Chain A
Amino acid sequence: MGDGDVTRKVIDARGSFCPGPLMELIAAMKMVEVGDEIEVLSSDRGSSTDIPEWIHKVKHEHVGTEERNGVWHVLVKKTH
């Protein structure tokens, strides 16, 4: 999933109820550069919909989502 040459930050938000995976992503977006990717690991199925929902609203790129062994890997890219 994603381009191997791009800088990727991984947020391990498994077991995070508060502030939760999406809030962690929103905070992390301020700490990466345009073009960087962020991969959010979440044990909450809801992340597979609420992260892309926010990403589309703020016009970043949702690169893809995979579920592996009960963990959702949601990959996004900062576009501006």
Chain B
Amino acid sequence: MRILIVGGGMGGTILANNLARRLATEMRNGKARLTILSASDRHMYQPGLLYLAFGRMTPDELYRDQASLLEPGIEFQVDPVEEFRLDKNEVKTKSGKTYGYDIIVIATGSRPSPQDIPGLAEHAEQFYTEESALKMFKRLREFQGGKVVIAMGVPHKCPMAPLEIVFMLHDYFKDRGIRDKVKLHYTYPIGRVHTLENVAKWAAPEMERLGITYETLFNLKEVDGGKKIIRSEEGGETDYDLLVTIPAHRGMEVIEKNGLGQRGWIPTHRHRLTMEGRDNVFVLGDTTNLPISKAGSTAHFEAETLGENIAAMVKLGTPVRDYDGKVFCFIEAGKDRATYAMFDYLNPPQPRPPTKVVHWFKLAYNQMYWATARGLL
């Protein structure tokens, strides 16, 4: 059984290690072969980008060698896929090689797409890439006062990021002694300050307590960098001195180019995680079109389900369980306190008030993540 994983991010790496342990015997005796293809020889811990934007982590802390994270026996190639030939059960890569498979897992992730909004890429700060996070860090350090506006597009990965960024900005300017010179204004696409109702119920009074103004039903439409005004689909507008965005995202370009899904979102079965119409093509992580959070924990829990199922397909000929929609998200509520939201398709989250302990746990997890990537935690 040839198992091919496309994508060396969180989901692909966790799945590869999970499978390598479950199928160790089959891999040793040649009954199973596991290959993972990635565009990079490095693995990035993406949640670290938020800390990078505030100077609380340095770039080197975000990366490990991909090969160092993988179990022995996994064939790893830095050779991104350029063509998916699903009818032939093969892919063609940048180097010109063709990889055949019996089972393929597409875990190519997603990317910020600020260029979809006129003026956004040129005039807004964001923290979804190393380069942009470092630029934002520099810009924050230079900022001496004025109106900071947070505005976003949908969908975006890390749905907690809008709240995290506004609360961390509050503490950042407070620590610099200029919070009284900064007006923080938060905008959000739906009719409350967060899509999770229980999170919004906590966050809105917290914003009021901290002197953060907010405007809901605000979907970013365009940025007028000359006048320093942003406009919404709903007909609203607001001025800014510093614009921080969580841009709308797309799946990777290769997914769009190969016609696998509009805007790079692959139609996926919500429980089986199969691509619609294809029983030997699985999809996990950001690149699914599932109505769940685009988050690392989603990829993590999906990978655990798929690991169990693909191993069962090798050993028993059939998958054994469904993905239940499980997601777990930390929510940083400032520089030294945090809470979390845990939910699935049936059970909404019930977040508790933020505490220092959960913040310390998040800081610890920033280091423990590498054990997760190795399929150990």
Q: Which chain A residues have a beta carbon within 8 Å of chain B's beta carbons? A: 11-24, 26-27, 30-31, 46, 50, 53-54, 57-58
Q: Which of B301-350 contact A (CB under 8 A)?
A: 325, 327, 329, 341, 343-346, 348-349
Using CB atoms and an 8 Å cutoff, list the residues of chain B in contact with chain A.
116, 154-155, 159, 189-191, 195-197, 217, 219, 233-235, 248, 262-263, 270, 291-293, 325, 327, 329, 341, 343-346, 348-349
Q: Report the Cα distance A24→B233, complex, angstroms.
A: 16
Q: Which residues of A contact B159 (CB under 8 A)?
A: 18-19
Given A21-B291, A22-B190, A24-B291, does the pair A15, B325 have CB atoms closer than 8 Å? yes
A12 and B270: CB pair below 8 A? Answer: yes
- Asked if A54 meets B292 with Cβ closer than 8 Å, knowing A12-B270, A18-B159, the reply is no
> With A17-B196, A17-B348, A46-B197 given, is the CB distance from A54 to B191 under 8 Å?
yes
Q: Select A18's contact among B195, B219, B234, beta carbons within 8 Å.
A: B195
Contact of A23 among B190, B234, B235, B346 (CB under 8 A): B190
Nearest-neighbour CB distance to chain B for A29, whole angstroms, equals 9
Contacts of B190 in A (CB 8 A): 20, 22-23, 26, 50, 54
Give the 7 A-B residue pairs with the shortest CB-CB distance, closest first.
Answer: A15-B345, A16-B291, A20-B195, A13-B291, A57-B234, A27-B155, A27-B154
Are A18's CB and B343's CB within 8 A?
yes
Could you tell me if A19 and B191 are in contact, using CB atoms closer than 8 angstroms? no
Q: Distance in Å from the Cβ of B349 to the closest Cβ of chain A?
A: 7
27 CB-based A-B contacts, threshold 8 Å: A12-B270, A12-B291, A15-B270, A15-B291, A15-B325, A15-B345, A16-B292, A17-B196, A17-B343, A17-B348, A17-B349, A18-B293, A18-B349, A19-B154, A19-B159, A24-B155, A26-B189, A26-B190, A27-B154, A27-B248, A31-B262, A31-B263, A53-B191, A54-B234, A57-B234, A57-B235, A58-B234
